[in-house]
């Protein structure tokens, strides 16, 4: 059992969740990493107000899915750089009674008028402004449809109930945090369209400051439309009309037909095993699940526990494994509706053993010497993630995004809704890196009605048939490696969810051939890694896992790498 720490002020009856009484968790006063403890339910998100909204829904009798939808809608108001109505994402749902995992793909889709040369200039080069900061950069949004599917199929509450807190926050406003105030000031140069200025800055163009009340009347209007008409408001009603009018006035190509035709997809979750645990995670068009399981399969061939947490030897091993997986990502991953992703092969233990044999434990292998495997013949740093567990043992792991911070920076006139710039997640020109430095090929080329490849990795772990961990992270290309390290810390190094979250992280994505390390990785370790041939670059903090551990109680850990992240339980 993982080391769990009780707050000395927290006195709870030793009741198991949906089971007979179990042995209490180990109380270890030597640890400095303390998760929040709850008995009946938990929501962990990147924004404390949204976490509170989700917790309140649980207290009102809603299940994990109800709380997840309410949290997602609230994040669209209080975390505008990543929470959204105009983006898309992936939700993993666990239904305890049925022992069933549902993977909901509500990733954005390319409009019908999109084509492979959409962002190429006259010389055949990628026009990054068009790909990232124009109306053309927006894919058909999937968030509203995805949340609606989850609520209608697996929830117990109505749109009116789950959206009410978000409407209140948008209409009556909420207190601006230091983080939001600073972030809007820093992004000023990108948030320049008239509707965007109206949404996020004062009438005179001034900034909001910490402690002031921030209201979003246009967004409140959109939310009220959703309350009254559900998803139809967004895809064929009044919101849709305003979105399309804004597209037509600014050279965009999303049409009413695109919106009406959008459908989220329920897919089979990717399943793997690692040292006695079952792993459930997202399938393509997310690359996260496949490569998470692939990397764990490779690591299973090495004594990770003996290497120690964040030693030079462990970091070296992790980085070598990361390079192998990201090389495969560049060639083999895309939307399975358009490209035959070799899923079974990539997930096989046999292929993992072949890759493990390529790892040199003494020396770094240059990325130039690593190629994507050959199939045998026969995502932004400002994505956001949240996790929910209810008193019945149901769970949700949800990651959604606008891609960049504030997406394209463009608010659709009259809606208060930020447009995503997910079209940049396609390979605008195969072999040319996207904004995160990721190389893509034909599998992820732009095609009408196709979903771009993503790194989002909402994940759950079971052991002996019981849910043990719910996690996920934002972070663009670093999402997969962030989730990998949390799982390695949890399983191989026997850390509780808080310890696993707080431990320093590293990242390698094959190209560029650089090992990124968080500032807290010590200099002696860095020197040892350099002697192994690694090119080290200190990086800002990586990812923001919002995780829940389930034992005899429910233990939540927000990631301290985001200042307003919080766990709320009851």
Q: Which two tokens stand for residue 300?
A: 């299973």
pLDDT at 372: 77
- Give the pairing type, strands 270-274 and 265-267: unpaired
End-to-end alpha carbon distance in the chain:
23
Any idea where the domains of the chain sit in the sequence?
43-266+383-421
Residue 138 CA, distance from chain mean position? 19
Instruction: Give the containing element (helix H, strand E) for 288.
Output: helix 288-299
Residue 72 CA, distance from chain mean position? 12
pLDDT at 375: 60
Query: CA angle, corner 187, sides to 172 and 170, nearest 5?
Result: 10
Mean pLDDT of 539-557: 94
User: Per-residue pLDDT tens for 468-515?
Assistant: 999 999 998 899 999 999 999 999 999 999 999 999 999 999 989 999
- Give the pairing type, strands 174-175 and 417-418: unpaired
pLDDT at 439: 64
Distances from the Cα of 136 to the Cαs of 27, 88, 442, in angstroms? 55, 16, 21
Please say whether the beta carbons of 126 and 429 come within 8 A.
yes
Please say whether the beta carbons of 448 and 442 come within 8 A.
no
Is 481 designated active site? no
pLDDT at 10: 38
Handedness of CA 246, 251, 256, 262 (dihedral sign): negative
- Give the pairing type, strands 100-106 and 88-95: antiparallel
- Give the separation between CA 292 and CA 281, rounded to whole angstroms: 8
SS3 state of residue 555? strand
444: confidence class by pLDDT, cuts 50, 70, 90: confident
The backbone region for 263, taken as left when phi is positive above 0, alpha when psi lies in -120 to 50, beta otherwise, is beta
- Give the separation between CA 162 and CA 62, rounded to whole angstroms: 9
Please say whether the beta carbons of 195 and 414 come within 8 A.
yes
pLDDT at 152: 98
Query: CA angle, corner 323, sides to 320 and 327, nearest 5?
Result: 150
Other beta carbons within 10 Å of 96: 18
524: confidence class by pLDDT, cuts 50, 70, 90: very high
- Give the pairing type, strands 536-538 and 515-517: parallel
Residue 566: CB partners within 8 Å, gap ≥ 6?
Answer: 44, 45, 47, 48, 51, 52, 558
User: Per-residue pLDDT tens for 71-105?
Assistant: 999 999 999 999 999 999 999 999 999 999 999 99
- Give the pairing type, strands 547-550 and 100-106: unpaired
Q: Which two tokens stand for residue 211?
A: 């402690």
pLDDT beyond 90 at 156: yes
pLDDT beyond 70 at 275: yes
From the list 404, 438, 399, 389, the residue with the least C-alpha distance to 544 is 399
- Give the separation between CA 304 and CA 308, rounded to whole angstroms: 7
Instruction: For 450-476, give the DSSP string.
Output: PPPPB----EEEEETTEEEEEE----G
For the ranges 28-42, 174-188, 206-220, 497-511, which has the lowest average pLDDT?
28-42
User: Per-residue pLDDT tens for 397-427?
Assistant: 999 999 999 999 999 999 999 999 999 989 8
Other beta carbons within 10 Å of 17: 22
SS3 state of residue 306? helix
Residue 12: CB partners within 8 Å, gap ≥ 6?
Answer: 37, 39, 553
Q: What percent of the chain clears pLDDT 70, i.e. is strictly above it?
A: 92
- Give the separation between CA 308 and CA 193, rounded to whole angstroms: 50
Indicate the DSSP class of residue 141. P
Q: Which two tokens stand for residue 366?
A: 């240059």
Please say whether the beta carbons of 544 and 401 come within 8 A.
no
Place of tokens 């994040």: 75
Mean pLDDT of 251-263: 98
For the ranges 47-56, 65-74, 119-128, 160-169, which has the lowest average pLDDT?
119-128
25: confidence class by pLDDT, cuts 50, 70, 90: very low
pLDDT beyond 90 at 226: yes
Please say whether the beta carbons of 410 and 135 come within 8 A.
yes
For the ranges 20-34, 94-108, 318-332, 351-365, which has the lowest average pLDDT?
20-34
Given the residues 143, 281, 343, 383, the one annotated as active site: 383
Burial 116-134 (b: 16+ CB within 10 A, else e): bebbbeeeeebbeebbbbb
| Integer-rounded Cα radius of gyration of the chain | 22
pLDDT at 541: 80
Query: CA angle, corner 517, sides to 548 and 4, nearest 5?
Result: 25
- Give the separation between CA 415 and CA 245, rounded to whole angstroms: 11
pLDDT at 435: 67
Instruction: Give the containing element (helix H, strand E) for 548.
Output: strand 547-550
SS3 state of residue 43? strand
């Amino acid at each position: 059992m993982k080391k769990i720490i009780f707050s000395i002020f927290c006195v709870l009856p030793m009741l198991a969740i949906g089971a007979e009484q179990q042995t209490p968790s180990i109380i270890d006063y030597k640890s400095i990493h303390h998760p929040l403890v709850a008995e009946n339910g938990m929501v962990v998100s990147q924004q404390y107000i949204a976490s509170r909204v989700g917790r309140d829904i649980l207290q009102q009798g809603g299940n994990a899915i109800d709380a997840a939808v309410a949290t997602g809608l609230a994040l669209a108001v209080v975390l505008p750089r990543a929470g959204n109505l105009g983006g898309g994402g992936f939700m993993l749902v666990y239904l305890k009674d049925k022992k069933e995992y549902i993977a909901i793909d509500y990733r954005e889709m390319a409009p019908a008028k999109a084509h492979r040369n959409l962002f190429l200039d006259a010389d055949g080069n990628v026009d990054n402004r068009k790909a990232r900061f124009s109306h053309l950069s927006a894919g058909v949004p999937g968030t509203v449809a995805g949340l609606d599917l989850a609520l209608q199929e697996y929830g117990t509450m109505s749109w009116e109930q789950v959206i009410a807190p978000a409407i209140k926050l948008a209409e009556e406003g909420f207190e601006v945090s230091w983080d939001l105030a600073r972030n809007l000031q820093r992004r000023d140069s990108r948030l320049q369209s008239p509707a965007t200025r109206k949404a996020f800055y004062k009438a005179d163009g001034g900034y909001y400051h910490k402690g002031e009340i921030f209201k979003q009347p246009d967004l409140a209007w959109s939310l009220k439309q959703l309350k009254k008409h559900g998803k139809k408001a967004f895809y064929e009603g009044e919101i849709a009309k305003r979105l399309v009018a804004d597209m037509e006035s600014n050279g965009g190509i999303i049409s009413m037909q695109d919106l009406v035709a959008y459908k989220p997809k329920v897919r089979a979750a990717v399943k793997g095993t690692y040292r006695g645990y079952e792993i459930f995670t997202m399938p393509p068009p997310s690359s996260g699940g496949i490569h998470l399981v692939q990397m764990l399969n490779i690591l299973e061939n090495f004594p990770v526990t003996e290497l120690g947490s964040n030693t030079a030897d462990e970091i070296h091993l992790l980085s070598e494994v990361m390079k192998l997986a990201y090389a495969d990502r560049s060639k083999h991953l895309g939307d399975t509706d358009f490209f035959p992703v070799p899923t079974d092969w990539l997930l096989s233990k046999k292929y993992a053993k072949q890759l493990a044999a390529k790892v040199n434990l003494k020396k770094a292998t240059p990325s130039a010497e690593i190629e994507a495997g050959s199939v045998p013949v026969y995502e932004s740093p400002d994505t956001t993630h949240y996790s929910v567990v209810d008193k019945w043992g149901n769970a949700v792991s949800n990651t959604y995004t606008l891609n960049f911070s504030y997406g394209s920076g463009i608010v659709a006139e009259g809606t208060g809704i930020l447009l995503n710039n997910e079209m940049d997640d396609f390979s605008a020109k195969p072999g040319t890196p996207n904004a995160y430095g990721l190389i893509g090929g034909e599998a992820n080329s732009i095609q009408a009605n196709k979903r771009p490849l993503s790194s989002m990795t909402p994940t759950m772990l079971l052991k002996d048939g019981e849910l043990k961990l719910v996690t996920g992270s934002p972070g663009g290309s670093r999402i997969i490696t962030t989730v990998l390290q949390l799982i390695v810390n949890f399983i191989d190094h026997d850390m509780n969810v808080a310890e696993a979250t707080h431990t320093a992280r590293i990242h390698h994505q094959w190209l560029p051939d650089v090992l990124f390390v968080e500032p807290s990785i010590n200099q002696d370790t860095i020197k040892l890694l350099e002697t192994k041939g690694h090119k080290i670059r200190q990086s800002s903090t990586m990812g923001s896992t919002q995780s829940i551990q389930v034992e005899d109680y429910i233990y939540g850990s927000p990631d301290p790498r985001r200042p307003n992240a919080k766990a709320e339980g009851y």
